[in-house]
Each structure stands twice: as C-alpha cells, then as structure tokens.
C-alpha cells in the first residue's frame, strides 16, 4: 500500500515514517501542514492519510476527490463547516474519518454504550487526559463519547505532561461506581490504526467510514 502523508513533519507524521516499510506499508510522498498537498505534483499512491492541522483538510479532500483515491482524515479539531466538507467528500470517494484511530478507543465507546443501557439511572462523567500542548478541549474522542452517552454526560478535560491519551468513562450509582478506561501507551497505536483504516477503505465505495466499521467488521 502506497501512501501520501499530509503532516509528515509533525509528531504523528514522524511516527508514520517509523512504520514505513513494515507489513507492505510504504510512504511515497509527504507534505507538511503549512506547505499543503496542493504544492505537490500528482503522486502515484493508493491512499492519502492526513495527520495535520484542520486548515489542511480542505486541500487534502480536494486532492483525493480530484484523483479518485481514498482519504483517511486523522486530524482533529475541525470546525462544523470543515466537518461538512468531509461529509460532502464522502459522497464521492471513500473517506475514513474518526477522532481516535486506536481500536481500543472504539471498543471503549462500544462498551460504554452497552453499560449505559444496562445502568440507565447512573450518573455519567467522561474524564479525558492529553498532553499539555493539545489545543482542543474537550477533544474529539470525549465529544464522541458524549454523543454516544447523551447530553447528561459531563466532560472533564485534563492537559498534563506528555500524556498520549487516556479516557475514563465513570458510571456512578449509590455506594458504587463502574469505570471504563482506555489508555494509549504509545502514539504508534494511532498510527497503526490509521494504516489499518487505510487498508480498510482501499476496496470500498464512496462513503464515510469510522473505527466502528473496523470493529464490527472484524
């Protein structure tokens, strides 16, 4: 699988480079968020993977649609209008878009939905912990969990050190509590998830795909 990486000079771009050459995954071209994909000439690739700033996504989608190749959008922090652009592109090409590309986080969301049904009277809180430099708070994963669990679920955001990403979903009942936790131990969890997502959409038709598709198709 030949990938074009948008955001190749960023933290996740460098992680992707470390994984290149493994399991038939190759990076054939890349650009950073500031330069953008529009600066590249046409690249012979199978998929575009974006780990970049939200401002890069417009050009990434335009490139993917123009060249009729799948796009994996692993960038977070999009505005509503930018998110709508992603949905629009998915009507023309396969687009894999999620707030968290670790399979464990997808399983956490599925488990939390099940617990919510089993314990409908429980008070619910989501605690998300990320590195000190993460700009969006709450992050996309916490927002997604809240959407699954209902508006009565409170979100508490912590920005601390170099935390890779931890999410706790707390169900509180009288005299007891149930806590579901997912913790990323390495950024490779997200990079490997993006590669898995890229493989998943290679043979798919136009549409919007998420980690739940991989989880339930496994």
Give catalytic residue positions: 130, 134
Query: In which element (H, E) is residue 181 found?
Result: strand 176-183
Rounded Cα–Cα distance for residues 119 and 203 (Å)? 39
Q: What are the b/e assignments for 10-39, b being 16+ CB within 10 Å?
A: bebbebbeeeeeeeebebebbbbbeebbee
Rounded Cα–Cα distance for residues 116 and 181 (Å)? 15
Closest CA to 209 of 73, 68, 63: 73
* No. of helices (H) and no. of strands (E), the chain: 7, 10
Closest CA to 173 of 118, 116, 111, 123: 123
User: How many of the other CB atoms lie within 10 Å of CB of 150?
Assistant: 10
């Amino acid at each position: 699988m030949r990938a074009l990486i948008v955001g190749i000079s960023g933290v996740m771009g460098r992680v992707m480079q470390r994984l290149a050459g493994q399991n038939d995954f190759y990076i054939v071209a890349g650009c950073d968020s500031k330069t953008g994909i529009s600066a590249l000439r046409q690249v012979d690739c199978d998929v575009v993977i974006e780990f970049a700033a939200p401002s890069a996504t417009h050009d990434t989608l335009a490139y993917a649609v123009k060249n009729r190749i799948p796009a994996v959008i692993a960038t977070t922090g999009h505005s509503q209008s930018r998110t709508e652009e992603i949905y629009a592109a998915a009507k023309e090409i396969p687009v894999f878009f999620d707030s968290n590309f670790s399979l464990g986080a997808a399983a956490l969301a599925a488990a939390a939905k099940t617990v919510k049904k089993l314990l409908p009277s429980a008070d619910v809180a989501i605690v998300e912990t990320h590195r000190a430099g993460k700009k969006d708070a709450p992050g996309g994963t916490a927002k997604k969990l809240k959407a699954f669990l209902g508006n009565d679920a409170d979100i508490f955001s912590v920005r601390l050190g170099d935390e890779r990403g931890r999410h706790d979903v707390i169900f509180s009942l009288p005299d007891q509590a149930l806590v579901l936790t997912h913790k990323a131990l390495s950024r490779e969890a997200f990079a490997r998830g993006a590669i898995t997502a890229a493989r998943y959409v290679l043979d798919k038709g136009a549409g919007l795909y998420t980690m739940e598709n991989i989880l339930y198709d496994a």
